[in-house]
A and B are shown apart, each in its own frame.
Chain A
Amino acid sequence: MDAAPSAPNGSTAPPSAGTEEEAPIHILWINAGLSCDGDSVSLTAATQPSIEQIALQGLPGLPKIAVHWPLIDFECGPVQGADTFIEWFFKAERGEIEPFVLVIEGSIPNEAIKSEGYWCGFGDDPETGQPITTSEWIDRLAPKALAVVAIGTCATYGGIHAMEGNPTGAMGVPDYLGWDWKSGAGIPIVCVPGCPIQPDNFAETLTYLLHQAAGSAPMIPLDDKLRPTWLFGATVHEGCDRGGYYEQGEFATTYDSPKCLVKLGCWGPVVHCNVAKRGWMDGIGGCPNVGGICIACTMPGFPDKFMPFMDPPPGGIVSSTASGLYGGVIRRLRAITRKTVDKEPRWRHTGTELTTGYRAPW
């Protein structure tokens, strides 16, 4: 989308940005892993912040950026011609645009398991006329990147395309580069899982990284699976508004029930994800909180360790049986209390007598 320099006066930088023309941080986005572009699409739904706010420096402290993002990029010229999108990737390889953040969407196939051809390519090699594989792009660009960001469960951990029985040998970026990989600036691979990413989760992570690049934030806090800790620290269940039903031992037996879905396939109690708490968009939507079983789409074990999705998780059977027992007792006690608190106190009435306890001075 080439956001940086497109205003009529040639710059979108605020007047206070100083006398020098600020060099942008480039964001190079490769959507040609084994991907569906769902994470790109999802990001356009973000409002906290929105892509416009990020691109046009609509939040305080954001540096100027130039985004090279296939989904909405203005540039679309022919290969090696005028305004060619892919040329930015060659420029980055030649060290002509610094710094840049590399965003990878989709899982990385194993190109070594076949004799020729490609599982996935992104642009063409001018020498051979054959596609440049996505893994080759990672080999070329990752060593020069300020940071490598994996967007979506495919790019982070392999995801659905790395399912048992897949023909491509797909894996996540950390599997490909190594889990201990660090950029030249010492930043580990940043993983934002989700299938797709929750829109604001990614917008927020990108914002954090840009603040870090601008020198106003410390090293992004990541857990051992390289996830931002403030987004993925809690489980679905900890943020699910149906947790109360669980505690009371009330479990749905049909998918359209408002009760806890754990016996119908919900993996929420063991899944790191904030969607039930945060909602999908501006607080609307979600998964188990709105009747959709959690299939654990943010997890490294996704999808194989959670299939068949509509069967109850084995661990859930034990704990839900336990909560079924004590939950019944809790529920009865609460029913008594609720009956009491559902009634107004006796002094709210008409008539000539005041019974609130107030003593009139006359």
Chain B
Amino acid sequence: MAPTTKTADGSGLTEMSWDPITRIVGSLGIHTKIDFKQKRVAECYSTSSVFRGYSVFMRGKDPRDAHFITSRICGICGDNHATCSVYAQNMAYGVKPPHLGEWIINLGEAAEFMFDHNIFQENLVGVDYCEKMVRETNPGVLDLAERTEAPHAAEHGYRTIADIMRSLNPLEGEFYREALQVSRYTREMFCLMEGRHVHPSTLYAGGVGTVASVQLFTDYLSRLMRYVEFMKRVVPLHDDLFDFFYEALPGYEEVGRRRVLLGCWGALNDPDHCDFTYRNMTDWGRRMFVTPGIVVDGELVTNDLTEINLGIRILLGSSYYDDWAGQEQFVTHDPLGNPVDPRHPWNQHTIPAPQKRNFEDKYSWVMSPRWFDGTEHLALDTGGGPLARLWSTALSGLVDCGYVKSTGHSVVINLPRSLTKPETSFEWKIPRWSNALERNRARTYFQAYTAALALHFAEKALDEVRAGRTQTWEKFEVPDESIGCGFTEAVRGVLSHHMVIRDGKIANYHPYPPTPWNASVRDSYGTPGPYEDAVQNTPIFEENAPENFKGIDIMRAVRSFDPCLPCGVHMYVGGGRTVQETHLPTGLSGLAG
């Protein structure tokens, strides 16, 4: 069957859509117009087709329930929500957990990163680069891969690039199956610390219910060192695979590329500094083991969490919601006296307005979060999470715990000797592009980064246990009136929770995970969201004709962001138009089908 429809506007563009997209989390659709003559995607619309309404049904509930409920937002990184909610509650209740409780949460969250990036990279994204897929989309590239020796064969054991690709074939590939097993023992590590995956059972405001013992940390460390050994093979393996694509397909750096507009909200607190007060948030934010930051065109704009917080704006424009202008403002000033914008999550009202999908008007359940730098509403992305985290951490030069060190221009990861491999160091250097391949590469390096950090956390935790300080939870009272905010990094990037308590109940609660940023849609200023923007820049390298076109380059661009949403993406492509022109808000009318 012919897959494509020519658009009726005489533009020569072909409409194509992918909905739902597989091998991501949630239902996402991408609708495009493709210019097959120019081999470019001219237009892209990302759409989400599922609405659940957390902010609506959480109103009036007990604030202590918030982390149990919000965990259910996401089935692969729900624990990030639970953690972020616990952070927001700690602030609202004025409670500081025992150090050991914080180390346990860090160990749990580190395991989440290790698990999630691993399963996504090898079992979901990896398939885009497997032998079967490359054979079906770029047979010429596979031929070259068969003839290309892997530079790091000695480290990972695969002689050629094609051998790596074969090992990634779904189910039959050896490395594919090994990675599934790795995703299991890393989840066991997680469960040791947080009870169960993905919705934790032992997390509470004030700390954790996990019983801290020598056994707990021994069980964790034994598995962690297996992972450390695994990473010594995986980092060079992925370097070989991704470097090969630059070599095999000159110009491939343009796939999924967009301007460097990265956000990172920081992750993994240092209990020696973090007291969860808003007043000190700037300071303890800078002590996080992943440094918060906003990076624009390669420059660090800020690493101040307070400033980051106050700059968040939620815009509408193409989403199925009524605006809340004129509605009650819950928080006019933050605890430091700074004014809080009516479009800030603390003041948001979620008013669903289901309606027909129309790519010229409203077409998604996702809103348009932006970061206001004083002049512009920046459509930040997270680079799938790891790219922004490493970039921000590298530029700030604040992290140094031996196992990892930020240099100001790179991040050095030191992995100790393991069962069969010697001590190994990796250095992640700031890449030249924010594109699909670098998002994927960063994902691998960040796995090594969290494994190294986990070694530090485990040592700190064992020190506490050996010193007899085994308390992991601290009592608290829920105040009648309070506000709180939580900042962390979910696996896929920036995560914030904003809560308002009145009469001891939740008066307002708005979680902002990374995917609303990445999968956001054209806002009221006409600025497209990151997927839309990145896909619109994507050239087509696939060898297939339109009749049996798979759109692999588009899928690689989208999946590099690690989409995680019950949502859908649709894309449109326009003939003879330059990419710059399609960025103009007026450029949307007349093309959308």
Contact = CB atoms under 8 A, between A and B. Distances in A.
Contacts of A34: 50-52, 566
A120 B49 contact: yes
Given A118-B49, A120-B566, A291-B208, A35 B75 contact: yes
Given A52-B177, A256-B208, A309-B68, A124 B1 contact: no
A6 B25 contact: no
A3 B171 contact: yes
Given A81-B3, A164-B57, A168-B51, A292 B188 contact: no
A112 B95 CA distance: 45
Contact of A284 (B4, B180, B191, B547): B191
A70 B75 contact: no
A81 B188 CA distance: 40
Interface stretch (B198-206, B303-311, B391-399, B413-421): B198-206
Considering residues A31, A256, A286, A294, which has the most beta carbons from chain B within 10 angstroms of its beta carbon?
Answer: A256
Contact of B188 (A71, A79, A282, A295): A282
Nearest to A85: B22
A288 B73 CA distance: 23
A116 B195 contact: no
Interface in B188-225: 188, 191-192, 195-204, 206-212, 219
A71 B26 CA distance: 8
Given A40-B75, A284-B192, A165 B207 contact: no
B473 interface: yes
Binding site secondary structure of chain A: loop
Interface stretch (B287-295, B349-357, B516-524): B349-357
B1 A285 contact: no
A279 B2 CA distance: 50
Given A31-B27, A86-B20, A256-B473, A160 B69 contact: yes
A57 to B, nearest CB: 12
Interface in B242-261: none
A41 B172 contact: no
Given A36-B566, A291-B208, A72 B65 contact: no
A81 B4 contact: yes
Interface string B61-101: 11011001100111110100000000000000000000001
Contacts of A160: 69, 72
A38 B76 contact: yes
B354 A41 contact: no
A113 to B, nearest CB: 9
A81 B16 contact: yes
A307 interface: yes
B422 interface: no
A196 B50 contact: no
A131 B27 CA distance: 11
Interface string A133-173: 00000000000000000000000000111011111101000
B141 to A, nearest CB: 18
Contacts of A123: 19-20
A86 B19 contact: yes
B17 A290 contact: no
A52 B123 CA distance: 12
A104 B51 CA distance: 17
B199 A119 contact: no
Interface in A64-122: 70-86, 106, 114, 116-122
A114 B191 CA distance: 41
Chain B interface: which size bin?
35 or more
B171 A55 contact: yes
B195 A286 contact: yes
Given A78-B17, A121-B50, A286-B201, A131 B196 contact: no
B50 A167 contact: no
A117 B356 contact: yes
Considering residues A50, A52, A79, which has the most beta carbons from chain B within 10 angstroms of its beta carbon?
Answer: A79
Contact of A44 (B119, B191, B357): B119
A124 B473 CA distance: 49
A177 B185 CA distance: 38
B1 A80 contact: yes
B475 interface: yes
A212 interface: no
A280 B133 CA distance: 34
Contacts of B23: 70-73, 76
A254 interface: yes
A255 B64 CA distance: 14
B274 interface: no
B132 interface: yes
A167 B352 contact: yes
B51 A119 contact: yes
Given A41-B75, A163-B57, A292-B195, A70 B22 contact: yes
Nearest to B50: A120
Contacts of A292: 195-196, 200-203, 209
Contacts, number: 315
B317 interface: no
B38 interface: no
B60 interface: yes
Interface in B157-206: 169-172, 177, 180, 183-184, 187-188, 191-192, 195-204, 206
Considering residues A32, A35, A74, A275, which has the most beta carbons from chain B within 10 angstroms of its beta carbon?
Answer: A74
B208 A41 contact: no
Contacts of B183: 44-45
Nearest to B81: A36
A79 B18 contact: yes
A116 B61 CA distance: 30
Contacts of A85: 20, 22
A256 to B, nearest CB: 4
A72 B121 CA distance: 12
A119 B352 CA distance: 10
B60 A165 contact: yes
B184 A45 contact: yes
B13 interface: no
A130 B357 contact: yes
Contacts of A129: 357, 593
A256 B209 contact: yes
Contact of A280 (B68, B72, B136, B191): B191
Nearest to B202: A292
B473 A77 contact: no
Nearest to B184: A45
B471 interface: yes
B64 A70 contact: no
Those 6 A-B pairs whose CB atoms lie nearest each other, nearest first: A81-B3, A292-B201, A38-B75, A285-B191, A291-B209, A117-B354
Given A71-B25, A170-B52, A303-B69, 13 more contacts: A2-B170, A38-B72, A74-B22, A74-B132, A78-B16, A80-B1, A80-B3, A120-B51, A123-B19, A168-B52, A281-B197, A285-B196, A308-B64
Interface of B: 1-4, 16-23, 25-27, 29, 49-53, 56-57, 59-62, 64-65, 68-69, 72-76, 78, 101, 119, 123-124, 127, 132-133, 136, 169-172, 177, 180, 183-184, 187-188, 191-192, 195-204, 206-212, 219, 320, 352-357, 470-473, 475, 544, 547-551, 555, 566, 568, 593
15 contacts: A2-B170, A37-B25, A52-B177, A55-B171, A70-B23, A72-B124, A72-B170, A81-B3, A83-B550, A122-B20, A170-B52, A195-B72, A196-B198, A288-B201, A290-B211
